[in-house]
């Protein structure tokens, strides 16, 4: 039975890896294999995002663009959520479900990015650049040992992530009844401060993901878990990009 550190990413829970490790396999998971599958997944996200991006900007007006991409965004959002749930409960299917998840999330991100780009020119390139910069920085901090994954660190990130999830759930429920949490969605100093904290927590989740994937590879997880590791990392990257995009849109709306 493997002993792995916990991750606040539900896709990379110790329970999942322990359960799947019991399956006999002649091939084992490697870090390089997970990196390759993550890179392929990112390419699928980009390709799908370009599709919905082009549908928006090829329309004759922003309103027409909205109408053109909304169905694809709905498919991407709902389909991505369902695919993620399936992947979490059936990691063996990750080789099929992870690419599907990447395409669906790409459709959602492409449409949302195009809508915000139409309102705030240049925001998407800044969001992409910042996401990649944060990813590279967290990887450097992890590999160099500047950030050490201790039990206290893990519990702190887990608690912060859980707290954010609860607040977002409350916001979603409130929105269903027509109420808006201004401190969360507005562009006040408090709202921007909250977004900065959320971006920081998402970034720290990357460190836990790196550590989890490395430990799983060292302890011989089955080969197909490379796809599952890539899926878990993609979940965090998508969240990080969305939060950075949200933060930049708040800042841009103040100009």
- Crossing angle (nearest 10°) for helices 151-176 and 189-218: 130
Cβ-based neighbour number of residue 255 at 10 Å: 6
Cβ-based neighbour number of residue 166 at 10 Å: 10
Distance between CA atoms of residues 73 and 71, nearest Å = 5
Lowest-confidence region among 96-100, 181-185, 205-209, 245-249: 181-185
pLDDT band at 2 (very low <50, low <70, confident <90, very high): very low
Q: How much is the average pLDDT of 13-40? A: 73
* pLDDT of 135 over the 80 cut: yes
Q: Which of the 8 DSSP states describes residue 25?
A: -
Q: How much is the average pLDDT of 47-63? A: 94
Whole-number percent of the chain with pLDDT over 90: 75
Better-predicted residue by pLDDT, 54 or 4: 54
In terms of C-beta density within 10 A (0-12 exposed, 13-18 middle, 19 or more buried), how is residue 246 classed?
Answer: buried
* pLDDT of 228 over the 80 cut: yes
Lowest-confidence region among 60-69, 136-145, 153-162, 167-176: 167-176
Q: At 222, is the secondary structure helix, strand, or coil? A: strand
Distance between CA atoms of residues 245 and 46, nearest Å = 16
Instruction: Check residue 19 and give its pLDDT.
Output: 52
pLDDT band at 17 (very low <50, low <70, confident <90, very high): low
Instruction: Check residue 178 and give its pLDDT.
Output: 74
């Amino acid at each position: 039975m493997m002993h792995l550190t916990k991750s606040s990413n539900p896709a990379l829970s110790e329970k999942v890896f322990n359960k799947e490790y019991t399956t006999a396999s002649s091939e084992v998971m490697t870090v390089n294999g997970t990196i390759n599958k993550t890179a392929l997944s990112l390419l699928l996200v980009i390709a799908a995002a370009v599709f919905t991006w082009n549908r928006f900007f090829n329309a004759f007006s922003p309103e027409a663009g909205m109408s053109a991409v909304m169905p694809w965004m709905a498919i991407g959002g709902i389909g991505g959520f369902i695919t993620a749930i399936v992947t979490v409960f059936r990691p063996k299917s990750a080789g099929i479900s992870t690419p599907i998840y990447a395409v669906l999330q790409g459709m959602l991100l492409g449409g949302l990015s195009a809508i915000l780009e139409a309102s705030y020119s240049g925001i998407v390139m800044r969001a992409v650049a910042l996401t990649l910069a944060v990813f590279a920085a967290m990887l450097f901090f992890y590999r160099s040992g500047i950030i050490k994954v201790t039990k206290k660190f893990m519990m702190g990130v887990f608690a912060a992530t859980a707290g954010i999830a609860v607040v977002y759930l409350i916001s979603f429920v409130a929105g269903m009844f027509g109420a808006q949490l201004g401190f969360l969605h507005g562009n006040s100093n408090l709202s921007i401060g909250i977004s900065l904290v959320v971006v920081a927590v998402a970034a720290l989740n990357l460190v836990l993901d790196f550590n989890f994937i490395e430990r799983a590879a060292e302890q011989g997880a089955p080969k197909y878990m490379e796809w599952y590791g890539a899926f878990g990392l993609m979940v965090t990257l998508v969240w990080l990009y969305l939060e950075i995009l949200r933060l930049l849109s708040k800042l841009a709306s103040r100009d």
